Amino acid sequence: MRTIQVSHIEAFSSIPGKGNPAGVILEADHLSEATMQQIAYAVSFNETVFVLKTNLADVRLRYFTPGHEINLCGHATMAALYGLKMRGLLEGKDSITIETNVGILPVQFEQHGSACFMEMKQDQPQ
């Protein structure tokens, strides 16, 4: 059995315990949808995000609650991209695109000292 690392990353705050938490799995290409759902259930945050490779954008993100997959989640997106940035996996990029179940969305980054700020386009409200 393969070990899966789940990072606990909080969006919208630099103070531990004060942000919006998400589970983040950075290399999820080998996971089935059923396994992703099982992991999200075990992690038990409102959302767990899985980072996958894609030919359509810089990264593909899939989002799961403990009960089902959802199309898009803002704070989980920020958590995943922060995790990628802090590990040097988006080195030198000030903007990227993400593939989600609602389509391809642009994300901009700004670095101010040690703080990383992101601007993300959302899907149309429904």
Q: CB neighbours of 42 closer than 8 A, spacing ≥ 6?
A: none
DSSP state letters, 23-74: EEES--TT--HHHHHHHHHHH-SS-EEEEE--SSSSEEEEEE-SS-EES--H
* 8 A C-beta contact, residue 20 and residue 12: yes
**pTM listed for this prediction:** 0.92
Q: For residue 96, give the nearest of 115, 121, 114 by alpha carbon.
A: 121
Per-residue pLDDT of the chain (126 residues; tens, 9 = 90+): 578 899 999 998 888 889 999 999 999 999 999 999 999 999 999 999 999 999 999 999 999 999 999 999 999 999 999 999 989 998 889 999 999 999 999 999 988 887 788 888 877 766
Residue 76, SS3? helix
Q: CB neighbours of 26 closer than 8 A, spacing ≥ 6?
A: 5, 7, 51, 80, 83, 84, 87, 89
Q: Which pLDDT score is estimated for 13?
A: 85
In this structure, what DSSP letter does residue 16 have? T
* Residue extents of the structural domains in the chain: 7-120
What's the CATH superfamily of 7-120? Diaminopimelate Epimerase; Chain A, domain 1 (3.10.310.10)
Active-site residue set: 47
